[in-house]
Amino acid sequence: MNQGRRNILGMALLGMVDPLMAATPSNGGAAAALPAALKTQLDRELATIAANPACELASLSVLAIRDGRVAYEGQFGRRFISAGGLPDKPVDANTLFRIASISKMMTTIGLMRLVEAGKVDLDADVSGYLGFSLRNPHFPDQPIVLRHLLTHTSSLRDEAGYSWGLDTALKDVLVPGSRLFGEGRMWAANAGPGAYFTYCNLGWGVIGTIMERVGGERFDRLMRRLLVEPLGLHAGYNPSELPAGDVANIAALYRKRTVDTEVWDANGPWIAQVDDYSKTLPAAPAGIERYVIGANATPFSPTGGLRISARDMGTVMRMLMNGGLHEGKRILQQASLDRMFSRQWTYDGKGGNGDSLDGLFNAWGLGNEQFPDDPATRTRLVEGGGFAAVGHLGDAYGLMSVFAADLKHRNGMVALVGGTSTDPLAYKGTYSSLARFQEQILTAMHRRAILVRA
């Protein structure tokens, strides 16, 4: 997740929109529960937000669940923006997005299945699973456990990077004295395991590697077995192994800035950042044919690499709302979900127990962020409040994503933005740490699709 992301977006005026910003028809009748007039109004509001010239969205795919049923789906904009003479391609309900850090929560669901199977213990020293000693050299007597990794309290840091090629083993990076340890910037010196929250992508590379070791499969294929196939999803952490039809429907992620700079030009062209497969198919990670399972899962990005549609994210959300059941098949026990979504860390408001990143992180479960709807901590997701939720945010390569579920009342929202025309740092939210356009999208869906009683 891009931790520096902050945004503000002024209220958009309703009006005429470009045809590519119109909502595309939902295949299937799941959204029919929303009255036609409200659906039309919500389509129009979201299209206007997406087309706002102050901060245009390259693409937008959303879904709202009310009382455990899909109440609304909408898609706006383009999954591929014309370049080199190729035509535009609109987003549809089955378009896959690289959902960034929401992938962490999906990885956690797979991990919890391994916990239920007795493969791992959340409170056991992870060294026994990894096959090498994982210790912060500043606190060598304190073991690191999965609970620490899942709650970003492991004392690992991202300063030395968090992804390496398949020819590199994690032990060669993390163990003092190893060939890539360097200055040891991946370890915090100010606090040991369990003492301090700092959002850390590296921890999820460790989690994925542990999952490989205990599951006996490469991470992307393990998650296919644990999550994708049981739920019937069109999704995966390795796009080179997706079916051709799914690859053709992956959204390229865009910004109106060059790939590796912070120079934006709102009047310039959309520039693809990742996942532009218009001319070439996705390549497998280099060296995959020689990869030793359980050495380094980071190239499969347990931290942010899942490609999945908003519709299929809704399938995952409904499974969580249904106590771990999907179409009569048990994916997880209710007790495991209770454990996963129980509060593990709450910011003390003073910086003594963690870095909230200017209010972005205030409460955490196991692999999930929590939004207690508290105006004092800017954890409200919708204007005026009334929607406390658990879930995750994502922000990478132009993608800005939200997965937010009120599991108690079985209401929820998914929002996937495939890029912005201007720097989101200039468009801060008015009542939360989200982007302003995210506030508007969630508020519109909450009012029109969740609060309504058909």
Q: Is 147 in a helix, a strand, or coil?
A: helix
What confidence score (pLDDT) does residue 426 get? 86
Count of beta carbons in the 10 Å neighbourhood of residue 29: 8
The pTM (predicted TM-score) of the whole model is: 0.93
Q: What is the DSSP letter of 116?
A: H
R_g (Cα) of the chain, nearest Å: 21
Return the pLDDT at 83: 82
Q: Which pair of structure tokens corresponds to residue 77?
A: 């904009």
Nearest to 361 by CA among 411, 397, 395: 395
> 202-237: buried (b, 16+ CB within 10 Å) or exposed (e) per residue?
bbbbbbbbbbbbbbebbbbbbbbebbbebbebbbbb
Question: Phi/psi at 273 (nearest 5 deg)?
Answer: -100, -45
pLDDT of residue 33: 72
pLDDT at 313: 99
Q: Over the stretch 338-395, which tens digit does the pLDDT of each residue have?
A: 999 999 999 999 999 999 998 899 999 999 999 999 998 889 999 999 999 999 999 9
Neighbours of 343 (CB within 10 A): 13
* pLDDT tens track for 196-211: 999 999 999 999 999 9
Say if residues 77 and 415 touch (Cβ distance below 8 Å).
no
Residue 345 main-chain phi, psi, to 5 deg: -150, 135
Q: Which residue, among 296, 300, 270, has the nearest Cα to 98 in the 3D structure?
A: 300
Residue-level pLDDT at 454: 56
Give the pLDDT of residue 24.
Answer: 46
Beta-strand pair 419-420/253-255: parallel
**Chain centroid offset of residue 431 CA:** 22
**Which structure tokens are listed for 343?**
């509060």
**Letter for the amino acid at 320?**
L
| Amino acid type, 43 | D
| Residues in Cβ contact with 200 at an 8 Å cutoff, skipping those fewer than 6 apart | 152, 154, 156, 157, 158, 162
Query: What values do phi and psi take at 299, rounded to 5?
Result: -65, -20
The edge-to-edge listing of strands for the beta sheet with 69-80 is: 89-90, 69-80, 59-66, 411-417, 399-406, 389-396, 369-371, 363-364, 345-346
Reduced to 3 DSSP states, what percent helix, strand and coil does the chain have, rounded to the nearest 5?
Answer: 30, 20, 50
Q: Do residues 2 and 396 touch, judged by C-beta distance below 8 A?
A: yes
Distance of alpha carbon 131 from the chain centroid: 29
pLDDT of residue 441: 98
pLDDT tens digits in sequence order for the chain, 454 residues long: 543 443 322 222 223 334 344 454 443 334 447 899 999 999 999 999 999 999 999 999 999 999 999 999 999 999 999 987 899 999 999 999 999 999 999 999 999 999 999 999 999 999 999 999 999 999 999 999 999 999 999 999 999 999 999 999 999 999 999 999 999 999 999 999 999 999 999 999 999 999 999 999 999 999 999 999 999 999 999 999 999 999 999 999 999 998 888 889 999 999 999 999 999 999 999 999 999 999 999 999 999 999 999 999 999 999 999 999 999 999 999 999 999 999 999 999 999 999 999 889 999 999 999 999 999 888 999 999 999 999 999 999 999 999 999 999 999 999 999 999 998 888 899 999 999 999 999 999 999 999 987 5
Sign of CA dihedral 75, 77, 83, 85: positive
Tell me, what's the pLDDT at 262?
A: 82
Contacts of 228 (CB under 8 A, 6+ apart): 235, 236
Domain annotation for the chain: domains and CATH numbers? 19-101+239-283+304-450 (3.40.710.10), 102-238+284-303 (3.40.710.10)
Question: What's the angle, vertex CA 89, arms to CA 87 and CA 93, rounded to 5?
Answer: 170
Question: What b/e string do you get for 177-191 counting C-beta neighbours within 10 Å, with b at 16 or more?
Answer: eeebbeebebbbeeb
- Per-residue model confidence (pLDDT) at position 334: 98
User: Contact 7/434 with Cβ under 8 angstroms?
Assistant: yes
> What pLDDT is attached to residue 227?
98
pLDDT value at residue 137 = 98
pLDDT at position 259: 87
Residue with tokens 């218009």: 278
Q: Do residues 119 and 217 lie in contact, with contact meaning Cβ atoms separated by under 8 Å? A: no
d(CA 76, CA 96): 14
